[in-house]
Structures are given as C-alpha cells and as structure tokens.
Amino acid sequence: MDELELIRQKKLKEMMQKMSGEEKARKVLDSPVKLNSSNFDETLKNNENVVVDFWAEWCMPCKMIAPVIEELAKEYAGKVVFGKLNTDENPTIAARYGISAIPTLIFFKKGKPVDQLVGAMPKSELKRWVQRNL
C-alpha cells in the first residue's frame, strides 16, 4: 500500500470518528507522542495544552529527563499532552521556535507557545512549571 493510500485511509477514519461523535472520547494520551513534521502542527491544533520536549539522541540531559516526561504524561493525562520532538530529525521545527540548546521544553496553550524551560530539571520543578502554565 502506498503512502498516499495510508494517508487517505487515516483521514477517512478521522472523519468517520468526528461524524459519530467519538472524537472527544477517542483517547486520553498518557504517554509522550513522538512528534515530527507530519503531526506537529496538528497535535498543537487539536489539544489545548501541549508540552513539547525538544531533544536529541546524543543528549545526556535529554535522556535524564525522559523518564520524568513519561511520568508527567501519565499524571497529567487528559489535561496536558506531552510530545517529544527529535531536533536532529526535525531541524525546521526546532528552528521555528529558536531552539539553540536541548533539552528545551515549550508549553503551548491553544497552539501558541506561552512558556519554556531549558535544561534538565528535577521532576518537582517540571511539575511546578506545568501547574503554573495550566
């Protein structure tokens, strides 16, 4: 099956869900979403609160906060969607938000960046930051 057919089927499924009113009950995300150029804007548009973790495979501080991001995604499921964007694989999006150091976390509200943190931080501090932005 070619990529165009897969996209067509996905869009058809989404339309069917919307029409049947299932979209709201669809799913509560309780783990970080892998973001890339094909789903980044859509994720921001479809969720009121999104925290994006800009990271890279070689970045040790990024690896240190990864389990914390996983935990926060579970704790804030239904309130905040957590996404991870690999800056090496998606340099255009990283450049769009002026990412010059990683890890960088950006809190998006209704698709707009409202706050950001740079560097690895303890869970308590990240939690306080999320709470403050809700």
Phi, psi of 97 (to 5 degrees): -105, 15
Residues 6+ apart with CB under 8 A from 58: 88
**Relative orientation angle of helices 123-133 and 60-75, to the nearest 10 degrees:** 50
Q: Above pLDDT 90, what percent of the chain? A: 78
Catalytic residue among 35, 50, 52, 59: 59
Catalytic residue among 35, 62, 72, 73: 62
DSSP state of 85: E
On average, the pLDDT of the chain sits at 91
Could you give the percent of the chain with pLDDT greater than 70? 93
This prediction's pTM: 0.79
Torsion angle of the four alpha carbons 28, 40, 71, 63, in this order, in degrees rounded to the nearest 10: 160
Q: Which residue(s) pair with 105 in the sheet? A: 53, 117
pLDDT tens digits, 47-81? 999 999 999 999 999 999 999 999 999 999 999 99
pLDDT surpassing 50 at residue 103: yes
Domains and CATH numbers, the chain: 28-133 (3.40.30.10)
Average pLDDT over residues 102-111: 97
Digit-coded pLDDT (tens) for 19-58: 765 444 446 788 999 999 999 999 999 999 999 999 999 9
Our answer to whether residue 113 is catalytic in this structure is: no
In the residue annotation, 62 being an active-site residue is answered as yes
Note whether 85 and 55 are within 8 A (CB). yes
> In this structure, what are the phi and psi dihedrals at residue 112, rounded to the nearest 5 degrees?
-110, 135
